[in-house]
Structure 1
């Protein structure tokens, strides 16, 4: 008997895309799975569409809950999930028919040989815009199946070259014991994944593109709202603090990489903060400037920061408002 998988789809006001997403999951060549549709208080026809599929297919379960965000919807589904592995698919995306089969193949192979069973397996994703154009993904899958140990994968994430999305992965249910997606935050996948890595040997990365991301207006995880600055970029800084605490406790050899990440995240914050908010009484801004100034010497000697990163950070350490105004003029933001 193959391993049972729980496929979890958070849903919120997505009636135009939902049929394509659900159909792509139900048509999987890997058949030993349940599909949990977690309706996060939709006010359109999304909940009714979910109920329709549950009535027609015994593999489908539906949760209807008050709106709390995608993390809340995922967490609610995890509470009733019966799978040994979890797959998370966004409701405006779709997957190839052999998506689960490919992801579960290393798991089934390891079980068959009695060898160490991978806790996380991932595969490539394509990103498609509303006009059907395929956009390049920064996380290019390997040419052949590759095992990446936990420390190397952690490093790839904080160097911004690894894939932190749970949507491209199957993840062992045991890694969620005592854990859940942080509610009320963006970049929630990164926040959770970096804490999981210490409890597994690493990640199996597979070749090919089997997950298709659909970019649409209003997609929470894919469009940063300039009017929601504090939430978007403060979460980036909070993640940097979490990375530094994990590295200090468990991976001291990665301190220079963690410092690069912490400075880069704060650089992003300072490059995007509205000029009107660059005040001493605005939470987050003074801390970012102070952090850059405190680590100025280490920043200059950090081998992982680019020359342009260092130029910008130096200027922000000296004259943050002036640099931000210049950047706004150059980039028209």
Structure 2
């Protein structure tokens, strides 16, 4: 049984695939199983994967019908035999010492999760000056400390969120899977993942090279333009409410409400998207009801009632409340 299974979903990355796989097979830590999950790629990637499997016995190829990034990762999770898991996106690269450093940190602290740092690079693998991740340090944290650092950051909080700069104890995925069809699948999973972790090791070592390319999923505009964002914020709201952190939960909920109020941002041209939007709006009312029951605050019951009447009614209430609270001239 290999110590580490590296799961690489593959879809329409002919230009980048060889460099990615080379960076994984070239790791200084060699006790690896490398799973290339061909997600029904319509180009030459399936054949390229098969060629790589012939070159290195540690590589296994899984050809599957296209289902998206989350589905491909889930396929890899279910096929993996290693004690630990690493995800790598097929248009990115790993630094040669990334796995060794992560494994050594895991062993030293008996960690459930190890994070290593990252560098943004352009399509020619040249490092980009921004965002600057040099402020991260080696440290051992608990779940609450990770959340505190996450919320204290802005642009570099991606360090804590993304799937691909981490070594996971495989048992973390005993019941967890990535949400199919979601753009921010790692955000949906994060609270449930961290909630299982006792010891989390964060490394300053930049072990991952994150390629910025125009055709990638994450290059397609602001996150505020997609209903996935308020949807995961509502899930986070429920998670923090269950933890008893109602202040944080309400902040997340208000962020979701503000995003949904920007209705013009969303593509609501189909009945399915319209139904998702309505469900998210109703979810905000349900979330305020949950907070009201937890805290006993009457103001939260009022907000829940107004939200059930519709976002325009709720926003009108907030405007009136703001005017009433402003000092008179």
Alignment TM class, shorter chain as reference: 0.7 to 0.9
The match for 2:128 among 113, 116, 134 is 134
Q: Deviations over 1:163-205 (max 9, x none)?
A: 2112010011000001211111111112112112221114210
The match for 2:171 among 170, 174, 195 is 174
* Cα drift, residue 108 of structure 1: 2.4
Q: Which ranges in structure 1 are unaligned for 5 or more consecutive residues?
A: 111-116, 296-312, 321-333
What is the alpha-carbon distance in structure 1 between the residues aligned to residue 58 and residue 78 of structure 2? 17
Q: Deviations over 1:52-83 (max 9, x none)?
A: 11011100000000000011111111111011
What is the alpha-carbon distance in structure 2 between the residues aligned to residue 192 and residue 277 of structure 1? 25
Aligned to 1:93: 92
* Structure 2 CA distance for partners of 1:41 and 1:108, relative to 1, 3 Å: same
Which SS does the other structure have where 1:163 is aligned?
Answer: helix
* Cα drift, residue 255 of structure 1: 1.7
What is the alpha-carbon distance in structure 2 between the residues aligned to residue 22 and residue 103 of structure 1? 18
* Cα drift, residue 246 of structure 1: 1.4
* Cα drift, residue 289 of structure 1: 10
Equivalent pairs counted in the alignment come to: 288
Is the Cα–Cα contact under 8 Å of residues 241 and 249 in structure 2 kept in the other structure? no
Tell whether 2:34 aligns with 1:35.
Answer: yes
Is the Cα–Cα contact under 8 Å of residues 226 and 266 in structure 2 kept in the other structure? no
Q: Deviations over 1:31-55 (max 9, x none)?
A: 1111000000011111111111101
What is the alpha-carbon distance in structure 2 between the residues aligned to residue 135 and residue 269 of structure 1? 33
Is the Cα–Cα contact under 8 Å of residues 2 and 81 in structure 2 kept in the other structure? no
1:1-333 matches, cutoff 5 A? 4-110=3-109, 117-130=110-123, 132=126, 134-137=128-131, 142-143=136-137, 145-157=138-150, 161=157, 163-220=160-217, 222-225=218-221, 233-249=226-242, 251-252=243-244, 254-271=245-262, 273-274=264-265, 282-283=274-275, 284=277, 288=281, 291=284, 317-318=315-316
What is the alpha-carbon distance in structure 2 between the residues aligned to residue 158 and residue 223 of structure 1? 23
Aligned to 1:301: none
* Structure 2 CA distance for partners of 1:191 and 1:286, relative to 1, 3 Å: closer
* Structure 2 CA distance for partners of 1:28 and 1:50, relative to 1, 3 Å: same
* Cα drift, residue 122 of structure 1: 0.2
* Cα drift, residue 137 of structure 1: 3.3
Q: What is the root-mean-square deviation of aligned Cα atoms in Å?
A: 3.4
* Structure 2 CA distance for partners of 1:196 and 1:15, relative to 1, 3 Å: same
TM value normalised by structure 1: 0.76
Which SS does the other structure have where 1:154 is aligned?
Answer: helix
Q: Which ranges in structure 2 are unaligned for 5 or more consecutive residues?
A: 290-310, 319-329
What is the alpha-carbon distance in structure 2 between the residues aligned to residue 276 and residue 180 of structure 1? 27
What is the alpha-carbon distance in structure 2 between the residues aligned to residue 259 and residue 205 of structure 1? 28
What is the alpha-carbon distance in structure 2 between the residues aligned to residue 240 and residue 272 of structure 1? 16
